[in-house]
Amino acid sequence: EHEARSGQIVIADYDGQAYVKKFVADDNGCHLVSLNKKYNDMPVNEQHEFSIFGIVIL
């Protein structure tokens, strides 16, 4: 299991689907933020299965 810092781009499994999104941890909790503004943020909480496959290094 990878440990991501807030602001890093991650490859994540979210409810059985793979995503490449920015991981953000702030006062409102953790969420995945799409780089495409057409898509809403995805909350990371106990209501969703979530794991990180890897961290994108640019």
Angle at 14 between CA 8 and CA 19, to 5 degrees: 55
Query: Is pLDDT above 60 for 1?
Result: no
The pLDDT score that the predictor gives to residue 58 is: 83
Domains of the chain and any CATH numbers: 9-55 (2.10.109.10)
CA distance 31 to 47: 12
pTM here? 0.89
